[in-house]
Structure 1
Amino acid sequence: MAVIKMDWQKNLLIAAILATLLMLVIRWHEYQEQLPTQTPVATQTTTNTGSIPAATAINSDIPVAANSLSEAEKTTLAANQLINVKTDSFDLVINPLGGDIVQLALPRHFLKLDTPDQPFVLLDNRDNHTYLAQSGLIGTNGTDTAQGRPLFSSEKNEYILADGEKQLVVDLVLQQGEVKITKRYTFTRGDYLINVEYLIDNKSANPWSAQLYGQIKRDSQNFVKVSALEMNPFLGAAITTAEEKYKKITFADMAEKEEKVGVQGGWVAMVQHYFISAWIPDADSQNTYHLRKLGDNDLYLMGFTGKVNEVAPGTQASISAGFYAGPKDTERLEQISPYLDLTVDYGWLWWVAKPLFFVLKWIHGLVGNWGLAIIGLTLIVKALFFKLSATSYKSMAKMRKLAPKMAELKERLGDDRQKFSQEMMKMYKTEKVNPFGGCLPLLIQMPVFLALYYVLMESVELRHSPFFGWIFDLSVKDPYFVLPVIYGITMYFMQKLNPQPTDPMQARIMQMLPLIFTFMFLWFPAGLVLYWVTNNTLSIIQQYIITKQIDAEPAAK
């Protein structure tokens, strides 16, 4: 009677744990549904006065621009003269007040798979969201002062990269006394790197001097929805320094204190899942990077200030920086600046993850399908660890073969744990079984499996990539939960091939694990579940063959 009561209590405890887990996931999804969602890019109507870097003092002897207007007049005029730019890579809006990029959408990346007419919006400046790229000139003859931003003029309000053209140039002009300043945006077909250049034509009798700055202004809103059981992708800033090649800085870090560092070359980026924006100044100059919270508002600045540039009377000069806004393309980011590719955040296992991604991409080049590439990569990883896996499976098969003897021994010795342990060790020695032989090979393989998880989570190539049949997007959950169910079935069969725990409570928990993991994997990206299904299937085949071989061996005498 006491045994029945104890079993009832144990089962109730297990049921309570599962019910709690279910409630946590349901509550998390309710919370995720309340997160703000992106909307298609629309006509910009808000202002973008921004904040000028405080690193450099403003000289009061700045020449007055010919288009001197009040700030209210500038804002009103700029709102009616927004500049729209369309290329194969961008659909963006430039505000002539400051010449900032205030909206930027990516036509080759959809907001959702089923809305190809709505591009993914990266930069936006709506009433409920702020994310824009600002740049300007500060210093002795700077155009951006504590009194306001310059109002540029352009030949037209719409620029389109025509078919057959490799580049599109958009010029914004400002007349500063006898100095003509042209802020030039250069867009290249097929590329997400924008060249931002200031052309200085000094026709005055005095030297001209200023510093280039670029900054990203953003609030801390997160538009990425993940389940409670997935890793939440990093959202925040990142820079490279002499001490740290890739330094992540959260919004909380910036709110606590300003980050300020001088770096030769370098870059500053705003990092989110699959996409980044980044300022990349001149690699040969000394730049000062500043990351800070802007007042009491939910606004943050991540930017750089370059060196002082001198332009002699009667001469011309150019000051430029790159601005990247697009997907985390590892190869392209490597080309743009050292360590910028680390924004594809594989964590501390990047040294394992990068080769895995290289192989994954190579396989995709052969088969043309990312799902097949995942299966191919899993085959290669299993082949590399074939002998280690075989060692582990042999150990587990021997343990499984001893299970009846272990159960008999436990029944005979009852609650005498010390005697049971002694007899068990004797049995292991006689049968030449290492009880830890199945653990070490698995531990050695674990970094590879974890690195592969990061690769599949971080690879923008998998976003909106189909597999076959009902799976149209490997980066989101299986819509019909077929793969998670298959995973649970394969896990169940793997358990049947493993030695069963002698403790009844442990045995019940192990029996419930396939259900628990199936439930967890319901919200995992289909690409990740595909990997685990493939891995489990291969493991079952290998383990089944080895178990049959061990079972056929005569018992040790």
Structure 2
Amino acid sequence: MENWRNVVLACVLSLLVLFGWPIVANHFFPPANPPATKIVKGKSVPLPAPGATPAADAPAAIRAREVVLKDSPRIVIDTPRLRGSINLRGARIDDLVLATYRETIAKDSPPVRLLSPSGTADAYFAAFGFAGDGVTTPNDQTLWQTQDSLLAPGKPVTLTWRNDQGQLFTIKLSVDENYLFTIEQSVANLSGNAISVRPWSLVSRTGHSKDPSTWTAHTGPIGTFNGATNYDVNFANLDGQEPGFFARIGGTTAQAGTNSFSSKGGWLGFTDKYWLTTIIPDPAKTIDANFRKGEGDRYQADFSAAPVIVPQNRVARSTSHFFAGAKEVTVLDAYKKNQGFANFDRAIDWGWFIWFEKPIFNVLDWLFKLVGNFGVAIILLTCIVRGLMFPIAQKQFASMAAMRAVQPKMKELQEKHKDDKQKLQQELLALYQKEKVNPLAGCLPILLQIPIFYALYKVLMLTIEMRHQPFVAWIKDLSAPDPMTPLNLFGLLDFTPPGFLAIGVLPILLGITMWLQFKLNPTATDPVQQQVFSIMPWIFMFIMAPFAAGLQLYWTVSNLLTIAQQKWLYSRHPTLRAQAGKA
């Protein structure tokens, strides 16, 4: 009866983990990117991007982008990484695609579109201008003048506009070879009186990010103010919602409605998982910054500097920057170091363990550049980790083998004191001391691997360097789940299993290798514990199915190396192997 109760308890616990984990994981640990491919009749077929712009995937739009782009004169943007144009009406950067990134892995997939002009679906743009009291300043309908036709690295453009009061406003834009625009604003006061003006910059977007904001990966409004990066504000707050219970427990600074900050330097804007737009003031100047909601479904991040008095026949100047592009680790790090942008690397939500996650990324990225395949790089990283942990693992396996060797004595004690649990525990402790074994020794390597596993999870989830990276055969994206599942006969059946049941080949291999690894471990003294261990590999097979294929690959290879180490240990200690076999 006792054994049946233990079996039932083990089954109940397993079901709780199996069905409860997806609910917890979706909030705290989002599993992976959406699948990049689908297996159809045994072949990988690219899937459309779920967050692609309407022009890329569907005709839905307020007005067609091509029509809106013809409404006003424009200056072409052409860099190694960016393509697009500047709208001379309103001095807006509102047409931008990322030339080196595609929406999907399909060969004919369009490039990722980041910015779109107002009047289109998913309107998203940056604008720069001036405000002042008693002076006519340019507005969103102002048509700026220029003699230039192309913005490219080393080829800046200058926009000018003159009011009827004697002031000449100028915006000079330049761009580097990556994603950074430099904005030099000036106003020349040619009137007979002093004026007061203040330059401003803004980023405006329509709608929430298509990437969900979670506990481990923030998307939405983001900024660094007075040296601290703020992930607290989200779109729901700008919509008027108060911060949630867990946010308040964590000490959020967000509030319902407009969120305002006063900061020396810093930056602010909007982030998706992989893409970032942010306006960056002069690091030496104090600004007033805001996240706010505009009309309809529009959201805005803006800042303005302190008012400047411009005497007659004088010129006031200010410099700011605008970043629009991919959150590449080395690029963000370079801007932080060379431009002095505070915490710019924190545009990637590394979290508390950035000190450990970035070194893991750096090693993985170095291995990738060495071998040219991120899957092989993950395998090499796993070998390095297991190699560094080998001395500890050797002690662990020796202790576990010794535990198997004392199993007969432990069973004798369990039979002898089955009615006296306290006496049994005392006798077991005495046996452990006499035989010099530690039942908890096997926990240390597992505990040491947890931060490595979590760091790899964050790297696969957040870094764009992992996006759409293939491994071998059907695995075309290591940041997405393994798409090949036997539930539809590897795509031969016209049936797509739900995510919970879409168990790919890698999760199956993970479960099998985990089961083989547990088979070499000593038998647990507690029947419930033993029952849990016996079904845990198959539970983890389901749990890991929605996670990134790269993470599944790491765990599977780690299991294989662990099995090899255990076999090697038993080969060196045949007496332990024999004793374990008798147990």
State the TM-score, normalized to the length of structure 2.
Answer: 0.77
**Percent same amino acid among aligned pairs?**
31
Render the CA deviation track for 1:102-148: whole Å, top value 9, x for unaligned: 34321211111115441112234566545332332112367668xx6
Corresponding residue for 1:139? 132
2:360 to 346, 350, 356: 356
| CA displacement at 1:322 relative to structure 2 | 0.8
Corresponding residue for 2:443? 439
1:37 aligns with 2:51: yes
Comparing 103-112 with 304-313, which one deviates more in the overlay? 304-313
| Unmatched tracts of structure 2, length 5 or more | 36-48, 243-254, 336-340, 485-503
Corresponding residue for 2:40? none
Aligned CA distance change for structure 1 residues 139 and 201 (closer, same or farther; 3 Å): closer
SS at match of 1:240: strand
Amino acid at match of 1:237: P
| CA displacement at 1:424 relative to structure 2 | 1.0
SS at match of 2:133: coil
Aligned CA distance change for structure 1 residues 534 and 404 (closer, same or farther; 3 Å): same
Corresponding residue for 1:425? 429
Between the aligned partners of 1:116 and 1:316, the Cα distance in structure 2 is 50
Between the aligned partners of 2:483 and 2:259, the Cα distance in structure 1 is 43
Comparing 201-210 with 354-363, which one deviates more in the overlay? 201-210
RMSD: 3.8
Aligned CA distance change for structure 1 residues 224 and 522 (closer, same or farther; 3 Å): same
Q: Say whether the 8 Å CA contact 1:246–1:343 is kept in structure 2.
A: no
1:531 aligns with 2:554: yes
Corresponding residue for 1:108? 100
Corresponding residue for 2:500? none
1:544 aligns with 2:567: yes
SS at match of 2:202: strand
Q: Say whether the 8 Å CA contact 2:210–2:272 is kept in structure 1.
A: no
Corresponding residue for 1:85? 76
| CA displacement at 1:195 relative to structure 2 | 1.7
Q: Say whether the 8 Å CA contact 1:259–1:292 is kept in structure 2.
A: yes
SS at match of 2:226: coil
Aligned CA distance change for structure 1 residues 524 and 20 (closer, same or farther; 3 Å): closer
| CA displacement at 1:84 relative to structure 2 | 6.2
Render the CA deviation track for 1:357-392: whole Å, top value 9, x for unaligned: 222222222222222222222222223222222233
User: Which structure ranks higher in relative contact order (CA pairs < 8 Å, sequence separation ≥ 6)?
Assistant: 2
Comparing 38-47 with 414-423, which one deviates more in the overlay? 38-47
2:479 to 470, 475, 478: 475
Between the aligned partners of 1:445 and 1:27, the Cα distance in structure 2 is 23
Between the aligned partners of 1:476 and 1:436, the Cα distance in structure 2 is 35
Q: Say whether the 8 Å CA contact 2:77–2:86 is kept in structure 1.
A: no
Aligned CA distance change for structure 1 residues 503 and 143 (closer, same or farther; 3 Å): farther
Corresponding residue for 1:392? 396
Corresponding residue for 1:457? 461
Render the CA deviation track for 1:315-340: whole Å, top value 9, x for unaligned: 44543311111111222223321210
Q: Say whether the 8 Å CA contact 2:75–2:88 is kept in structure 1.
A: no
Between the aligned partners of 2:119 and 2:544, the Cα distance in structure 1 is 36
| CA displacement at 1:25 relative to structure 2 | 11
State the TM-score, normalized to the length of structure 1.
Answer: 0.80
Between the aligned partners of 2:61 and 2:545, the Cα distance in structure 1 is 42
Q: Say whether the 8 Å CA contact 2:223–2:266 is kept in structure 1.
A: yes
Aligned CA distance change for structure 1 residues 523 and 444 (closer, same or farther; 3 Å): closer
Corresponding residue for 1:73? none
Corresponding residue for 2:520? 497
Corresponding residue for 1:321? 320
SS at match of 2:512: helix
Between the aligned partners of 1:309 and 1:476, the Cα distance in structure 2 is 51
Q: Say whether the 8 Å CA contact 1:487–1:532 is kept in structure 2.
A: yes
Corresponding residue for 1:290? 290
Amino acid at match of 1:37: G
Corresponding residue for 1:516? 539
| CA displacement at 1:547 relative to structure 2 | 4.3
Between the aligned partners of 1:172 and 1:126, the Cα distance in structure 2 is 23
1:180 aligns with 2:168: yes
Q: Say whether the 8 Å CA contact 2:54–2:121 is kept in structure 1.
A: no
Between the aligned partners of 1:26 and 1:268, the Cα distance in structure 2 is 29
SS at match of 2:228: coil
SS at match of 1:92: strand
| Unmatched tracts of structure 1, length 5 or more | 48-75
Aligned CA distance change for structure 1 residues 344 and 26 (closer, same or farther; 3 Å): closer
